[in-house]
A and B are shown apart, each in its own frame.
Chain A
């Protein structure tokens, strides 16, 4: 198995940088990548994280998941990217510092595009296009806090849903918004794809061990689901709520201090229920109340820090489809 210059034989692990080019200042455009090739044939799973340079918490645990794995016990191949956006990480930016592009908003990239578009193009062709499944781990960065597995409406939805349930997160949200991501392109290509939203800075102090544990479980559970690894699924929840999402609330009215009611996460709300409110940051007046436009279950997701980024998801609502035991 060889990806760029990173090679591993059956039963081996390897690590290196998937190199795609250089910037004007001769810095490498590259992606750190772990390759774990099982002793036996099997499917190929890609796990990627850190496409935003501020979604870096997965790199606290993902390299250790690789260390935990014994290739002799694995069927198939795991490709794991713990932190894709190295320049964004370097300069504490969401986008690539090289061309101000969000690496997960470039689709499958472009061979004749900018530095990032070229990098994503080469990565997509060399890695994702050859895979059977993709787990795209996303976090709430420094502003939001999430715990759900998103499934796109496109491609093999049943396979993606089954994979999402197996990750062991408390909720699966069907109807993940089309977002120009690599994951969406992979779904369109027929891979089993999950956008796994796990954790975020506002919960880091108090829930770090749980959140990193959920990232670990997500990787190992995906491998188990795909038959790459033996053993029972690991999860800190007994059942997974599958929700068909119908409403995404983003800042659309007044801006200021935004307070969303975290106690409603996971709860059923009625149309017209108050989900949060916006306060004038200087006068203190409540200038907008954020209401549920229709009834639904609140997905465990959304902005937490009271000064959310423009375009942040404040809340997601959907209809409960089923509860599935984690088994």
Chain B
């Protein structure tokens, strides 16, 4: 029996329900929609998570496509699939939850007696995440950016990998994209939520996949490739049989340590750099111009040499998050030479 709070599925079943979490002051319930796929045979537990940032929905659609096709009779192990974690953010198209102005992804393991988002994070963490061997966390560029890479935690000692790090390296490549990246510790906050997830022995990889500015042309392809990645992870985990499918044989892994932030002035943002551009220190990543006259207000030079990884703002305003990320190539993985299967026995 696979059970996530009040939602359950017997072996060989696929069910859908709402994990009861918390209620806001108006009586609005923020229960989390959960699909459970209990494989007919035993095996590991994979968790799929979308829209923990409410406007980042490409993964949500891919998760729904996967669930529609998944046959519990053919699966070894369990899948917990959550298309939208942050329902309030999804409703309003915002990153966090405006109910209490919190970002659920930053709250794990949550608080039993905290705000609505704290409570949601606590129950969701306890009931769902702690059961998972692997968590695939889908993010995207919301409506204002575009991204396409696998993101994972920096390794403590690349020459002496832990078991989780060894498995994670494989799954990052197995997902099937041609680019992956890790941020050096401290690049974006403390990472306390990611640490909490690892402490319960759940391996997490994050997808930064698609975004609104590229939706008209690439949306269908993004959703298709995100779903392809889900099936690949099941294959690599031994939950189904089949060959991995990928962008190509190679996956370039970047150490993404150069982050471009907004300068002191603000205006209309124009991004000059494209994915894969190699910038030297001082090269201009983007510019801010007067929105009414077009006059240059500021340039945004890169502080270090780096290659533009597939991530960044394209809508002509900049907000609180980073504008662009550059990195150096850490390694290039060749899928043809790797055994990407991962055992959780």
Interface residues of A (CB under 8 A from B): 15, 32, 56-57, 59-60, 63-64, 67, 82-83, 89, 92, 142-143, 145, 200-207, 257, 262, 279, 281-284, 304-307
B158 contacts chain A at the CB level, 8 A cutoff: no
Decide yes or no: A15 and B90 within 8 Å by CB, A282-B33, A306-B57 being known contacts: no
Decide yes or no: A60 and B214 within 8 Å by CB, A92-B317, A142-B144 being known contacts: no
B202 contacts chain A at the CB level, 8 A cutoff: no
Chain B residues lying within 8 Å of A59, measured Cβ to Cβ, are 268, 291-292, 294, 316
CB proximity of B147 to chain A, nearest CB, Å:
11
Cα–Cα distance between A92 and B313 once the two chains are bound (Å): 15
Chain B residues lying within 8 Å of A205, measured Cβ to Cβ, are 146, 211, 213-214, 217-218, 314
A284–B67 touching, CB < 8 Å = yes
Chain B residues lying within 8 Å of A257, measured Cβ to Cβ, are 57, 60-61, 64
A81 (CB) vs chain B CBs: closest residue: B292
A32, A202, A306, A307: the one within 8 Å of B213 (CB): A202
B292–A306 touching, CB < 8 Å = no
CB proximity of A258 to chain B, nearest CB, Å:
11
B33, B35, B93, B268: the one within 8 Å of A307 (CB): B93
Cα–Cα distance between A283 and B61 once the two chains are bound (Å): 10
A61 (CB) vs chain B CBs: closest residue: B294
Cα–Cα distance between A281 and B54 once the two chains are bound (Å): 12
Chain B residues touching A, range:
35 or more
B219 contacts chain A at the CB level, 8 A cutoff: yes
B46 contacts chain A at the CB level, 8 A cutoff: no
CB proximity of A201 to chain B, nearest CB, Å:
6
B270 contacts chain A at the CB level, 8 A cutoff: yes
A15 (CB) vs chain B CBs: closest residue: B293
Chain A residues lying within 8 Å of B217, measured Cβ to Cβ, are 203, 205-207
A63, A201, A283: the one within 8 Å of B143 (CB): A201
Cα–Cα distance between A57 and B84 once the two chains are bound (Å): 30
B306 contacts chain A at the CB level, 8 A cutoff: no
Interface residues of B (CB under 8 A from A): 16, 18, 33, 35, 55, 57, 60-61, 64-65, 67-68, 83-84, 90, 93, 143-144, 146, 211-219, 268, 270, 290-294, 314-317, 319
A-B contact count (CB 8 A): 109
B319 (CB) vs chain A CBs: closest residue: A92
Chain A residues lying within 8 Å of B268, measured Cβ to Cβ, are 56, 59-60
Cα–Cα distance between A63 and B267 once the two chains are bound (Å): 14
CB proximity of B269 to chain A, nearest CB, Å:
10
Decide yes or no: A262 and B216 within 8 Å by CB, A257-B61, A283-B16 being known contacts: yes
B215 (CB) vs chain A CBs: closest residue: A202
Decide yes or no: A281 and B215 within 8 Å by CB, A59-B291, A60-B270, A63-B293 being known contacts: no
Cα–Cα distance between A83 and B289 once the two chains are bound (Å): 13
Chain A residues lying within 8 Å of B214, measured Cβ to Cβ, are 202, 205-206
A60, A89, A201: the one within 8 Å of B144 (CB): A201
Decide yes or no: A202 and B16 within 8 Å by CB, A56-B317, A92-B317 being known contacts: no
B270–A83 touching, CB < 8 Å = no
A282–B143 touching, CB < 8 Å = no
Decide yes or no: A206 and B218 within 8 Å by CB, A201-B143, A257-B57, A306-B61 being known contacts: yes
Chain A residues lying within 8 Å of B319, measured Cβ to Cβ, are 92
The 4 A-B residue pairs whose C-beta atoms are closest, nearest first, are A284-B64, A63-B294, A282-B33, A32-B292
Decide yes or no: A89 and B291 within 8 Å by CB, A60-B268, A305-B143 being known contacts: yes
